[in-house]
Amino acid sequence: MPKINVMHIVRPAAGGMKGHVLSLLEHIDRKRFNPILVCPEQVISAKDPSVNYKVLNLEIAGEITPRHDWRVFKCLLNMLNSNDIHIVHTHGAKAGLLGRLAAWKTGVPIIINTVHNFIYDTPSIYLKYPLILLHRRLNKFTDMQITVSQALQKSVSRIEKCNEKKICTIYNGIDLNNFNLLLDCNEIKKQLNLDLKSPVVGVISRLIPQKGVHLFLKAAKIILDKLPDTKFLVAGEGPQRPSLEKMAYGLGLADKVIFLGYVPNVPALLPLINVFLIPSLSEGLSIGAIEAMAARRPIVAFAVGGLPEVIENCKTGFLVQKGDYISLAEKTVNLINNRKIAEKFGVAARQVVEEKFTLSVMVAETERLYNELLHNKGIKVSSETVTSEAVLK
């Protein structure tokens, strides 16, 4: 019996969005669903031998580029017609725009879009309102919008005027097996030239303005005034890296802050960190927060977006007012000086992840949504496979 072909479409993506999409494709039930990924080669190459699903590389641009976007749109039409797609699942604003239009044009039965970030926080005033109008139009033929947090759902629902029956939240999830590691932290510290007894404060983030790493550096300056032996790790790449390195030098932090660049093995890095900071000014949810909690790291973060749905203030970490890097620093010093509280937060954090933010829960909720929409469209679902007299040829 034929399977349901699900085409995921994503723009250039890194960090949380990339991890979310690749995890979903890797773990979706193959007895019922046949996943196909359309993405730029920088996300994952079609030639990657480790990939066990079909990848179609297409250079979707992150920004608005009318001529290039028109060529991408035509390519999407060909891909959809050639692969007998039953569900199109787009991720992010740009892929959601082109992918949903192409799916509607080719008559794909089910169209889903996942919103990962607060997209209306970033566009210029000249693009914001046309973008809102475009998405309102797209929502008319979109079967479901998924958001990664309740806060994001409320924002999208209000701004795009979504029908409440066509929007839902499915939290990001991680594979906890990756965080059940026995590591020699002292050896890893030596490799990074870290003093074995020095406290370590870290951030893992794409280096872009909305992630607030410049405020992490300002907080680091304050922390050092009280705990001069502290070291700081910045893991991640992005266009802001040169300016952030220059800023660290200007603040006199050159020998205290280590810019690690892209870190392929985050679970191996997290145990080195005594306190994990999230200075984001906008955050749909935060894979970084979930990963740190899985590694039993106490967190100090700005109370923005979906972070209060992940971090419970004074139980799994501290939440402070957006932009208040002084409080960010003070709470960090508090945790470093009070190891019992830090350990208590870490244990509670792990428990929260086990209950709410696992990969198995995320995949199961997504499959449940697929099956519900298939049923609503008259596409029969069985325990082994999915068939439809109306859709499957």
Give the per-residue pLDDT at 124: 57
- Co-location of 146 and 274 in the same domain: no
Q: Tokens 């097996």 identify what position?
A: 177
Domain count, the chain: 2
pLDDT in tens, the chain (393 residues): 578 999 999 988 777 788 888 889 999 999 999 999 999 988 888 888 888 899 999 998 877 788 898 999 999 999 999 998 999 999 988 899 999 999 999 999 999 999 988 877 665 555 567 778 888 888 899 999 999 999 999 989 988 888 889 999 999 999 998 888 777 777 788 888 888 888 999 999 989 999 999 999 999 999 999 999 999 999 999 999 999 999 999 999 999 999 999 888 899 899 999 999 999 998 888 899 999 999 999 999 999 999 999 999 999 999 999 999 999 999 999 999 999 999 999 999 999 999 999 999 999 999 999 999 999 888 765 544 444 333 333
Nearest to 23 by CA among 237, 175, 224, 168: 175
Residue at 393 is within a domain? no
Residue at 392 is within a domain? no
Give the per-residue pLDDT at 390: 35
- Co-location of 88 and 147 in the same domain: yes
Give the per-residue pLDDT at 123: 56
Write the CB contacts of 342 (distance below 8 Å, at least 6 apart in sequence): 274, 275, 298, 335, 336
- Co-location of 90 and 19 in the same domain: yes
Residue at 336 is within a domain? yes
Beta-strand (E) ranges in the chain?
Answer: 4-10, 33-39, 54-57, 87-91, 110-115, 144-147, 167-169, 200-204, 231-235, 257-261, 275-278, 299-302, 317-320, 380-381, 386-387
- Co-location of 244 and 295 in the same domain: yes
- Co-location of 328 and 220 in the same domain: yes
Residue at 69 is within a domain? yes
- Co-location of 72 and 159 in the same domain: yes
- Co-location of 39 and 163 in the same domain: yes
- Co-location of 227 and 239 in the same domain: yes
- Co-location of 104 and 243 in the same domain: no
Residue at 207 is within a domain? yes
- Co-location of 187 and 248 in the same domain: yes
Residue at 52 is within a domain? yes
Give the per-residue pLDDT at 386: 41
3-state secondary structure 286-318: CHHHHHHHHCCCCEEEECCCCHHHHCCECCCEE
Return the number of other C-beta atoms located less than 10 Å from residue 177's C-beta. Answer: 9
Give the per-residue pLDDT at 166: 93
Residue at 227 is within a domain? yes
Give the per-residue pLDDT at 201: 96
Report the CATH number that the domain containing residue 66 is assigned in CATH. Answer: 3.40.50.2000
Structural domain boundaries enclosing 371: 4-173+359-387
Contact 230, 272 (CB under 8 A): no
- Co-location of 207 and 169 in the same domain: no
Write the CB contacts of 182 (distance below 8 Å, at least 6 apart in sequence): none
Residue at 12 is within a domain? yes
How many angstroms separate the CA atoms of 297 and 347, rounded? 8
- Co-location of 287 and 198 in the same domain: yes
